Amino acid sequence: MMVWRIWDTRVQNIIGKIQILMLLEPPYIDSIEWSKWHVFWLDERVIPKDHEDSNYKLANDGFLYKVPILPGNVYAINDKLSTEGAADNYEACLKNLVNRNVIALYEASGFPKFDLMLLGMGPDGHVASLFPSHPLLKENEKLVTFIKDSPKPPPERITFTFPVINFSTYIALVITGADEAGAVQTALGKSQNLVKLHVQMVSPEGKLTWFLDKDAASKL
């Protein structure tokens, strides 16, 4: 089971150009059981799928159409719905897949348990579309929620909530670029700044691994 926070430049620079694209070539492409892959977006802009800012388009053009993942195992949002409708529809999709045992259930919490989530981070320390000082940070019942006032354009998005993110088995936090160096320094406790960043709310039941390029790690 694969959950992607893709395909922005932060993730593409380090994962997209190196590890992910390696999967497009032998011997890797022939050794992977692609039929077992299920790909989701833990946040997405509510815009047409062919829009240049669509995470789906970026992922599809850069990777998905080049590998034999079953089309029915790629779960894009319904871009014909309202923002709230798209979030509700995506949550219903996840619940249906849990009921069908396609997605595992974390019994103690009742939340789905994904195998892997791929996350980026903004310069302000946000992850997914969970932005600083926003009420969505406190959402602990819904699986998927929506935002209409994102401080980054486009303003309307859907996003997984922190409980869903944190019950993942593995989280890969991929950060590149000097713009994120200060937030990396703060988040990893290497700064005198005592402000808690929202990336520090990523505290999985499973394993969290940080992947940094030289620029992102420059203040450590």
CATH code at 108? 3.40.50.1360
Residue 157 placed within a domain:
yes
Per the listing, tokens 């420059």 go with 218
Does residue 204 lie within any of the structural domains? no
pLDDT of residue 147: 97
Segments forming the whole domain that contains residue 164 = 2-184
For residue 193, tell me if it sits in a domain.
no
In a domain, 194, yes or no: no
pLDDT by residue for the chain (220 residues), tens only, comes to 555 444 333 444 444 445 677 888 888 889 888 888 999 999 999 999 999 999 999 889 988 999 999 999 999 999 999 999 999 999 999 999 999 999 999 888 899 999 999 899 999 999 999 999 899 999 999 999 999 999 999 999 999 999 999 999 999 998 988 999 999 999 998 766 666 898 999 988 889 999 898 999 999 9
pLDDT at 140: 94
Q: Does residue 197 sit within a domain?
A: no
**97 membership: H or E segment, kind and range:** helix 83-99
Asked, for residue 202, whether it belongs to a domain, the answer is no
216 inside domain: no
Question: Does the CA dihedral 134-147-202-104 come out positive or negative?
Answer: positive
Position 85 in a domain: yes
Residue 43: its H or E element: strand 43-45
